[in-house]
Structure 1
């Protein structure tokens, strides 16, 4: 059944194809010809009339396509136009030459290439063309001369105005005219003017002749446009009644020769037909292979006052008939298009009807067949859906399990950092103390310290690997002296090299070269490559670093070379894969160091390659400038590699505040440590309690203890069981009672997101574990020092602080609010500290501690100082009595006011006013 249906559809397709072929057969039988016409120019009416006649005539022949190019009366343009038409492979070329001689070679070239050539109006210098069509210019000249000879038997003087020099019409018209004039005794050409077929070209020469010769009778002009110009000059000289003008062309219409004769501006004009319609007819005969004459001459005649009106009416009637023909042709074209459209629509409808009948039958058969297949597909789809859901469920379980393992692994890695911090800090303290004097014990402590650092580096590598997988690394490149940077890391491996007698060297050809690198990431790359080099290089071997600056390019290469066991050739392409270990590697290794190194180098837009012959060579290629980096990948750091040294000493400016930093237990600054690791709490408490009063919290009551004690500094861990360090910091910074307290966050997270989150929560300092205690200690001193400087500012500018001064801190807002409440209650002698605390919505003790921390004074003294400063101002600026000022500033009596004023300003109010 299905095979029968397919055969039926094939037969139907053949039938439909035959219908369309028969419908289009009439179109394909008609051959189309392209005729190219190179016209001299289209600015004058005679040329426009020729073009119009050719276009109208071509319109009668649908198989003809006429393409007219305007040469703008420039012979170079005309040559280019003909070359263009030849290159387009037209079927026939029509040329009206601007000048005969220059145009002849290109015309002969077209003729010799097989293109029929029809020359119209003007001739060329050769005979290599198919046919010529135009008026007999020699006859035009003789007709003009004979017409003038017929007018008189007296002696008459004539001025001849010629056309463009070098054109065949100008030469032939002048020759015919002068042949007759020379044989006529009473006519003489006294002067000749050469024009360019335009009226402006003959006016000045004609004026000069008319001024020098007074007895001019006739002017013969080679075309009507120049003849009109001659008439304008004659009229200007007021000689129009004596001098008669004879023109050539005889065009109908405004400014045409016939109209000029009717207006008595011209004596007569010689009809010179354009031959536009005859040119198309002659071209069609040539294209159809008919024999035509070489020279086809158009008839000419004289038009004067006797026949001008008749000729004008005849031309008008011809134009009207032509317009009617055009209108009828347009209507016929519309009818043909309508007929063709209707015929094609009918054919299409018939074809669609047949196809719809066949498809209707086929759809019935297909419907039955599809329902059967649909049932089969539904069963199959049901099975696939069940299997897909099972696979998805398993995949989700695997994903959750894998995510849990990865999170556990990451969290565990972070947890390692706290005990390592304790080990490093303790060993650092031991090495700095004078308790250990035994060199062997000191060596063992150093061994603990070095291995702790190694363990920390491995943990950081694991965390870096996870961040690389999640694409969370952001490059922080800064301008760095590459040799100095490399030399610092070189020194870390010198002791190992000396111990194993390895020849370890570093060289460069440019010690001043600076590049933009992320020092932290590049430090890890160096350590990975050098650690591998020393691991696989035997004693008495060679390890070298060579920095090679290519002065002729924008790149620098860093070579790490060793004389170790090398890498098997078949495994070279796997070296940078994660967890890969070479087959000749019998040492323990994580297998991610080289993978991370490659990722870090590619973050710098650089490359790393490996060569292994006698040992191994890693080559790092980096850009020398920063144009390859995005703006957010560049940071500005001082180009001093000392920043990478361990715990540099910082130089702080001494001030009055730091001189009395610690006096006794009551004057000690207080620190609250919020940490859930007991060992770290014990370590920090023991170290900090020497200089500070220390309170501790395991995180559960951290906020409550901060509100209770209002400490000077808070040190808070990020990972806490109840609330995170970020949450605690944000809560305390938003609370008016604790907003002024500097907070240091301790964390094992050193990624960009954690830093941003810490800053958003309001932390003053963000230290990552493991940290150096000396850095923590100096950071605490710096924060307290900055807090004291802020307190100094508030104390000395207490009366200038208002809500309009925006220092961007909650403390400034607090002091502004405090001053506003006191000023609003200035004349209230019963306004107390309790009232102020109530208005601020905090307790009296919290207000006391807040004021003590910010201003260093108690609240009562602060209120009284505000009152006395106000009284001082009123004594200067008002004429109120001392008693009135005392009551206005909230003092209970004038005597109390005077005593208080004298105690503060060392002068009584009366003496101060005087």
Structure 2
């Protein structure tokens, strides 16, 4: 049974191949490429030549004709002929502009075996296959004979030649003069070029009385027509007979001009376009052709012009009929071909369907069996796929949870480190500690805390690198100073272990563009590894090699440590890789991060290990290798995320605020859920500020109750995040003026942006220096005091229509608008104002007092008096009118209040 089925299938395949071959098989006829380079494109005679070629070529399906227009440019025509030679056209037809320039190319084509047909104009060579064109000597002779046949007693002739020295111009001139010299009563009184028509003919006509002109022989009909028009403008066109050359049919061409009496005659000059194609076909069919194929020419005058016109019209009509018939034949052939193919296809399909019907009977049972089998397999595969998908989702959720836990835990480390560093800072500021042993232990704690923080940051950097969230911020940096600063951080360790630690540079002033923060991490990673794996009494060096002739800087880190086995070298930059000879604990991501950071700078890092280990970093000079977004402009200073142990915080340089009395101390609301940190901050602030605390669960309620001067808020809180709390307080009119400082372990760009969007005034990342935090509090209070001073002293300048953009300014703008709208209302009260602002009287009092330092009643009074002062200066209103216009209940009360503020009565103020 299987053998029978196989036989049926083979039969089907054979039949289908036969049918496909039969349907696709076409009559294979060889196609020929014929190219024609036309020297002149603009006159009707040349267009007629092109048309005749196209018509004749359309009669041959195997011809592919390409016509190239040179537009009277020899160089263009040369390039066309070169193109046809290089692309191996089967026949090249050329109508040369002049006889000399094309000789080399024509001979090259001829020598290469490509048939060349010259049309109309000749060249100065015999290396061509055939020439097609009229005998121009005969054209000149016929024109002269025609003039002689008119039996004039004396025939004075003006000859107008073409503007070039082509063979037709030369030969027509010779043939014409050959006959003229034989006739005693004929003479050529003037011979000019066609480009002299507009200047010479008027002069010649004006001198007719001296030298009469009987005939004008122009070398083409267009020139003859132009000469006739000039003669007509002089009124002498009837006394002169004009003879042209070409004899084309159509409007303003030779035959019509003869019929209209403009020309006495025109010499028929066949284009030879159709004849050239016929000769080309003979050549392609290997038939013999003549070297010179001379076309007949004749005179067309009033006697035969109408006949010639009729013949041309009939020829054109027949040509159109032929073209129409050819189009129909092509359509019929296409229809026949399509129907034939369809018929073959139908027959094939019929046979195929019969065979398939027979095969389907056999295969039906087989298909049903296989279908049942496939359904079972499909169910099994679907079940397995769903299980795999579920497992993959669980793995992803588990992995994300682990990564998030890991990242969150890393952030959590920053809070206790903040406490450790801040405590060490306090101890370092304690001048009573004199014991060097204690100071050394404090330094040890500080250094190890910094090392712990650096390890945590390294873990977070790895997560950023994996998520592609690092942004390069390269700035112009003195690489030598930058490197020396980091070198100094490791000198103490080198001295303690008696390691020969060297810094070598062949240039003292080398500036390149680097991200200092990122490159700082690279240096510390490489130096930390060097110190970890180099034994005591060993050597470690940093060498900077600057070649002025190169665009690269080499930074070499070299040590005399245990080295890296050769088999491990290709793997050292992979994440979590541990060398086979490494028995010390480590994360395995330091070198991976270093390579990623260097590649962000478009540089490279290489490792070599023979005696110890050598890392070579190559960085580009200049900025051409960086994107404009990667470059920032900032002073060339080294900014560390970790403060130096001996940092002098008294040199920060911020303005100090004047301390208040015990009763008027500024208040701070601390929002932090870490008990030790909030206790530490409270103890540090308690002497200078009124300190309130919240673990985050009641932060908003306490802020509304206390209306503190400053809020210090952590981001990670149990109920709402610090961003949410800040946004709620900034949108609430009662607390929108309070400066807010955010504390967080999140130091990525997205967190910074989120903090600023929520309305935070400052954003400090953990671990932070308490000195920086303390000065930040002083700064925001100082800035608010400046704002308060401005508003109190510029009440009259504050416009009610401006939107200042800051919450406090927006609040004051609303107050000012309400007061100004009700300025003449003596019954305007604090209660009315609070109601319009949707605040209680107490809340309005607290907020105004916090922003301006005065009560709301005093503020309203100040606005009334400032307005009254302006009216006294700018208007002629009486004092009573001004009093009522500014909302005072009586003129006496107004005068008393005004004198109390400005130390002058309203009357005295106006007089002065």
Select the residue among 556, 565, 568 that pairs with 2:565.
568
Whether the 8 Å CA contact 1:161–1:202 is kept in 2: the answer is no
Distance 2:223 2:820 in 1: 104
2:598 aligns with 601
- Equivalent position to 2:285, from 277, 285, 288: 288
Structure with greater Cα Rg: 1
Q: Does 1:752 align with 2:749?
A: yes
For residues 135 and 420 of structure 1, what CA distance do their matches in structure 2 show?
107
Distance across 2 between alignment mates of 1:720 and 1:77: 82
CA distance in 1, matches of 2:841, 2:899: 29
1:436 to 433, 436, 443: 433
| Alpha-carbon distance in 2 for matches of 1:817, 1:714 | 24
- Shift of residue 571 of structure 1? 0.8
Cα distance in 2 between the residues matched to 1:600 and 1:204: 87
Distance 1:2 1:854, change over 3 A: same
User: Equivalents in 1 of 2:898, 2:233: separation in Å?
Assistant: 114
Aligned residue among 525, 528, 531 for 2:528: 531
Aligned: 1:778 with 2:775: yes
SS in 1 for 2:406: helix
* Aligned equivalent of 2:15: 12
TM-score, length of structure 2 as denominator length: 0.86
Residue 766 of structure 1 and its aligned partner are, at CA, apart by 2.3
Cα distance in structure 1, aligned partners of 2:513 and 2:237: 93
Say yes or no: does 1:376 pair with 2:373.
Answer: yes
Offset at 1:176?
5.6
Give CA-to-partner distance per residue, 1:180-214, whole Å, 9 cap, x none: 66666x44545573657x89499649928975973
Q: Which residue of 1 aligns with 2:722?
A: 725
Query: 1:46-445 residue pairs with structure 2 within 5 A?
Result: 46-70=45-69, 72=71, 80-96=79-95, 99-100=98-99, 106-119=105-118, 121=120, 127-137=126-136, 152=151, 168-169=167-168, 186-187=184-185, 189=187, 191=189, 193=191, 195=193, 200=197, 204=201, 207=204, 214=211, 251=248, 271=268, 273-301=270-298, 309-310=306-307, 312-359=309-356, 362=359, 368-445=365-442
**Cα 1:815–1:358 shift into 2, 3 Å:** same
Residue correspondence of structure 1 range 450-489 to structure 2 within 5 A: 450-489=447-486
Per-residue deviation, residues 648-701 of structure 1 (Å, max 9, x unmatched)? 43454667xx34x043x3232222323333322332222222222323333333
SS at match of 2:383: helix
CA contact (8 A) 1:203 1:230 kept: no
Inter-partner Cα distance in structure 2 for 1:183 and 1:871: 123
What is the aligned partner in structure 1 of residue 792 from structure 2? 795
Q: TM-score, normalised by structure 1?
A: 0.86
1:92 Cα offset (Å): 3.7
Distance 2:910 2:92 in 1: 117
Worse-matched range after superposition: 568-577 or 466-475: 466-475
Give the Cα separation in 2 of the matches to 1:240 and 1:901: 110
- 1:506 deviation in Å? 2.0
1:606-648 CA-to-partner distances (Å, cap 9, x unmatched) read 3222222222222222333345444554444332337775344
Q: Which moved more, 1:806-815 or 1:80-89?
A: 80-89
Counterpart-to-counterpart distance in 2, 1:687 and 1:193: 117
- Whole-Å Cα distance in 2 between the matches of residues 643 and 630 of structure 1? 25
Q: Is contact 2:553-2:619 (8 Å) kept?
A: yes
Q: How many residues align?
A: 903
1:688 and 1:253 mapped to 2: Cα distance? Answer: 108
Partners in 1 of 2:296 and 2:320 — Cα distance?
24
Question: Is the CA contact (8 Å cut-off) linking 2:158 and 2:188 kept in structure 1?
Answer: yes
The secondary structure found in structure 2 opposite 1:558 is strand
SS in 2 for 1:608: strand
Q: Deviations over 1:837-870 (max 9, x none)?
A: 5554444444443333222234454455555556
Q: What's the offset of the Cα at 1:3?
A: 1.2
TM-fit CA distance, 1:115 = 3.7
Compare 41-50 and 377-386 and name the one that shifted more.
41-50
SS at match of 1:594: helix
Per the alignment, residue 649 of structure 1 pairs with 650
Structure 2 counterparts to residues 883-902 of structure 1, below 5 A: 885=883, 889-890=887-888
Q: Is the 8 A contact 2:542 2:555 kept in 1?
A: yes
Query: How many Å separate the matches in 2 of 1:414 and 1:421?
Result: 11
RMSD, aligned α-carbons:
4.2
Where does residue 811 of structure 1 map in the other structure? 808
Q: Deviations over 1:865-894 (max 9, x none)?
A: 555556666777576576994897455x87
Distance 1:39 1:398 in 2: 77
Q: How far 1:16 moved relative to its partner?
A: 0.7
Shift of 1:483: 2.1
The change in CA–CA distance for 1:162 and 1:707 in structure 2 (over 3 A counts) is closer
Q: Is the 1:40–1:96 Cα contact (8 Å) retained in structure 2?
A: yes
Contact 1:195 1:202 in 2 (8 A): no
Q: Distance in 1 between matches of 2:886 and 2:294?
A: 127
Provide closer, same or farther for how the CA distance between residues 454 and 351 of structure 1 changes in structure 2, counting only shifts above 3 A.
same
Matched-pair contact (CA < 8 Å) for 1:193–1:206:
no
Distance across 1 between alignment mates of 2:244 and 2:908: 124
> Contact (CA 8 Å) 2:160, 2:216: kept in 1 or not?
yes
Q: Distance in 2 between the 1:887 and 1:199 partners? A: 97
Q: Is the 8 A contact 1:160 1:193 kept in 2?
A: yes
Unaligned 5+ residue runs, structure 1? none
- Which residue number corresponds to residue 689 of structure 1? 686
User: Which residue in the other structure is 2:731 paired with?
Assistant: 734
Question: Conserved in 2, the CA contact under 8 Å of 1:506 and 1:544?
Answer: yes
Given the superposition, is the C-alpha separation of residues 825 and 93 from structure 1 closer, same or farther in structure 2, using an over 3 Å criterion? closer
